[in-house]
Amino acid sequence: IGVGLVGFGLFFLLFGVLLYFDSVLMAFGNLLFLSGLVFIIGFRRTFTFFFQRSKMKGTSFFFGGLIVVLMRWPILGMLLEAYGFISLFR
């Protein structure tokens, strides 16, 4: 279930970008991706991964970008999410 949710989340994110940053598809993709991540590694591990003291900057940018996408500013939100994603996984 988790891998399917992550796959659909990435598909919706890509499809949202291809359709000129459609905010609804991108928001749906973000939510599916995060819920798939929770199904794959569990709630506690996901929470501890995102909220480590050394990763708070990346987490704040990632979730800030998610909120900006949900507020229908998709280009700015994706830029914030990309920076947060790079900060989290470097």
Q: Beta-carbon neighbour count of residue 26 at 10 Å?
A: 26
pLDDT surpassing 90 at residue 61? yes
The answer to whether the Cα torsion of 87, 49, 56, 17 is positive or negative is positive
| Confidence at residue 55, expressed as pLDDT on a 0 to 100 scale | 94
Has this prediction a pTM greater than 0.75?
yes
Torsion sign over Cα 64, 70, 73, 77: positive
